[in-house]
Chain A
């Protein structure tokens, strides 16, 4: 089966611009998560979707970040306007309803550089 797909793989934008990251989870996975790793530090949780609903968005850093999951399929994470500190690697993960049994699958990430 296809894995979790993220694109673009790399993005370089100027401060103040808008960037949209996309994640395509494994088909049928209800749960979708966004994480990010900034400046080589720990990977931090951003938010969790169950189907199209936001289950937990406690990790979203501020209102410049907007996440959506259309129809419970793919998800987008928009940063507007981007700031220098938003640079990092953004990971997406998905899991089926039975997370205990089947675990999680991570994408290869989007490396965002804000200059």
Chain B
């Protein structure tokens, strides 16, 4: 079946540090992969996505590359800001149907 595993948090970084949040997946077909972000008091917002192998999704300085050979979609950012503090969810979706989400990783960025 389909599932997503992402690194547990919380992750605490200083401002301008490099961020990596690991995400691996299991899928029966050829899913699209997503990163969603939830800022405090808000809903889930799409951060970036990739729809096929070797695609790179990017937004707001965040990047993730769809790696079929390692079934991974790790989230990276070169220099985090305090405003990036949030919970990040990795997810997959086959045929643009229902999502399978990971357990979320809480990121705390300190000034």
Contact = CB atoms under 8 A, between A and B. Distances in A.
**SS of A interface (majority):** mixed
A37 B99 CA distance: 13
B43 interface: yes
B101 A42 contact: yes
Nearest to B99: A45
Interface string B81-111: 0000000010100001111111110000000
A29 interface: no
A94 B101 CA distance: 16
A91 B98 contact: no
Given A43-B89, A100-B96, A108 B101 contact: no
B46 A103 contact: yes
Contact of A43 (B42, B46, B97, B104): B104
B103 A42 contact: yes
Given A40-B104, A42-B101, A103-B46, A108 B96 contact: no
Nearest to B96: A99
B92 to A, nearest CB: 12
Interface in B19-53: 36, 41-46
Contacts of B45: 106
Contacts of B80: none
A91 B99 CA distance: 12
A72 interface: no
A107 B46 CA distance: 12
Given A42-B4, A43-B89, A106 B96 contact: no
Most buried by B among A35, A44, A106: A106
Interface of A: 3-4, 33, 35, 37, 40-45, 48, 56, 59, 91, 93, 99-100, 103-104, 106-109
For the complex of A and B, the 5 pairs showing the least CB-CB separation, nearest first, are A43-B101, A108-B43, A106-B44, A99-B96, A45-B98
